[in-house]
Amino acid sequence: MQVKCNVLDRQFQMYQSEYEAAALRVLRSGWYVLGSEVQQFEEAFAKYTGRKYCVGLNSGLDALILSVRALGIGSGDEVIVQANTYIATVLGITENGATPVFVEPDAFFNMDADRLEQAITDRTRAIMVTHLYGQASNMTPIVEIAQRHHLEIIEDCAQSHGACFGGKMTGTFGVSGCFSFYPTKNLGAFGDAGAVVTDDAAFADKLRMMRNYGSKVKYHNEIEGVNSRLDEMQAALLSVKLAHLQELNEERRMLAKRYSEGITNPRVILPGVREGAESIYHQYVVRCADRDALQKALEQQGIQTQIHYPIPPHLAGCYARLGHKKGEYPITEAYADEVLSLPIYTGMTLEEQDYVIRRINAWT
Ligand SMILES: *Cc1c(COP(=O)(O)O)cnc(C)c1O
């Protein structure tokens, strides 16, 4: 049997007629960028997250970059970020000339709140929290520390659409909730797309200007903006998927539960969920001291797995200039050597999953 890491067309087939109707509507409308479809999606997504405003953008990376920029954070400023996040989170900081300050993750792969405060200096302006793999971070202490030090919170929710902490949706704990709708995300488009959600009207306004060359009124460019507009096609398709997001997340939770109950190999460490937190299982990530051998064994049996992520940002070639050394963030580096993401996706059959579980349990 062959089991891929992700099979994107299964979720298309599930709602095919709805997607096709939405696509045709856009094609026939004669209006393709920033129109009524974008506005409707923004309203629906703001409502879904429980925020006042949503600003549709080109990508998740743009949501991060523009959030940092709209807060006036740049050269000479520091932004705290967890060390085991995806490179995009860190690029959101460095694209603005600000300096990332890394914090080790906790047992749930998210920012370790107990190590947060010691990373704060008099240059710190914001804390960037990634709800990695779909699990909400430990927001009670993080929010408390941010408030005490007058720091902004920017949440990277690219993997956590719909995940809550203490019953509150990720993306609603700070000024900015940054979302990616890259096709593989839980709420994925059919191309690139992203968004910011916020309750701050002035912040939302600024982002709306920034995404469209810095202008509110055409050709009146008040600030130096970019082109990060969301197009009508992606917005219309996202509206279709958003209406099903809850059931899609439920499906992943069901699959994750089956993995957690089914995998009994003592060499494989299963992911836990923090009390008060929820996961939407963007990834189901196990740890294994002999990870590369496990990955290879599974590959030989037709099972594709992935590593999120093999090289932590502080050791990435692009950040050599920051001067970090191997051994500086030992927990992060151990995770990079041990994590393995098992196949989990919309439309995964129980037969496919049982095959993965059997092969893992048979591995010695
Ligand atoms: C996917 C992802 C991003 C970037 O989103 P794009 O839409 O690909 O730009 C940022 N952060 C995290 C944690 C991601 O998983």
For residue range 192-207, list pLDDT tens digits in order. Answer: 999 999 999 999 999 9
- Report how far ligand 1's centroid is from the alpha carbon of 201 (Å): 25
Span 248-264, average pLDDT: 98
Q: Domain spanning 245-362: which CATH class is it, in words?
A: alpha beta
Give the mutation target among 157, 178, 182 for probing the ligand 1 site: most ligand atoms within 8 A of CB: 182
For residue range 143-172, list pLDDT tens digits in order. Answer: 999 999 999 999 999 999 999 999 999 999
For residue 124 and ligand 1, the question of a CB distance below 6 A is answered with: no
Which pLDDT score is estimated for 60?
98
For residue 341 and ligand 1, the question of a CB distance below 6 A is answered with: no
Which pLDDT score is estimated for 195?
98
Domain ranges of the chain: 9-242, 245-362
For residue 89 and ligand 1, the question of a CB distance below 6 A is answered with: yes
Burial level of 150, CB count in 10 A (0-12/13-18/19+)? exposed
For residue range 82-123, list pLDDT tens digits in order. Answer: 999 999 999 999 999 999 999 999 999 999 999 999 999 999
- Report how far ligand 1's centroid is from the alpha carbon of 102 (Å): 18
Q: How many CA atoms lie within 13 A of 163 on its CB side?
A: 34
* Tokens 């200039």, residue located: 321
- Report how far ligand 1's centroid is from the alpha carbon of 179 (Å): 8
Q: Are 288 and 294 in contact (CB under 8 A)?
A: yes
- Report how far ligand 1's centroid is from the alpha carbon of 55 (Å): 16
Q: Which residues, at least 6 apart from 178, have a Cβ–Cβ distance to it below 8 Å?
A: 60, 63, 64, 67, 92, 154, 155, 156, 157, 158, 171, 194, 195, 196
- Report how far ligand 1's centroid is from the alpha carbon of 267 (Å): 30
When the pLDDT of each residue in the chain is averaged and rounded to a whole number, the result is: 97
pTM, entire model? 0.98
Q: Whose Cα sits closest to atom 5 in ligand 1?
A: 60
For residue range 22-71, list pLDDT tens digits in order. Answer: 999 999 999 999 999 999 999 999 999 999 999 999 999 999 999 999 99
Atom of ligand 1 nearest to the CA of 88: 10
For residue range 269-323, list pLDDT tens digits in order. Answer: 999 999 999 999 999 999 999 999 999 999 999 999 999 999 999 999 999 999 9
In this structure, which CATH number among 3.90.1150.10, 3.40.640.10, 3.30.420.40, 2.60.40.1760 belongs to the domain 9-242?
A: 3.40.640.10
Which pLDDT score is estimated for 189?
98
For residue 235 and ligand 1, the question of a CB distance below 6 A is answered with: no
- Report how far ligand 1's centroid is from the alpha carbon of 344 (Å): 18
Cis peptide before 309 (omega within 30 of 0): yes
For residue 60 and ligand 1, the question of a CB distance below 6 A is answered with: yes
- Report how far ligand 1's centroid is from the alpha carbon of 88 (Å): 6
- Other C-beta atoms lying within 10 Å of the C-beta of residue 257: 11
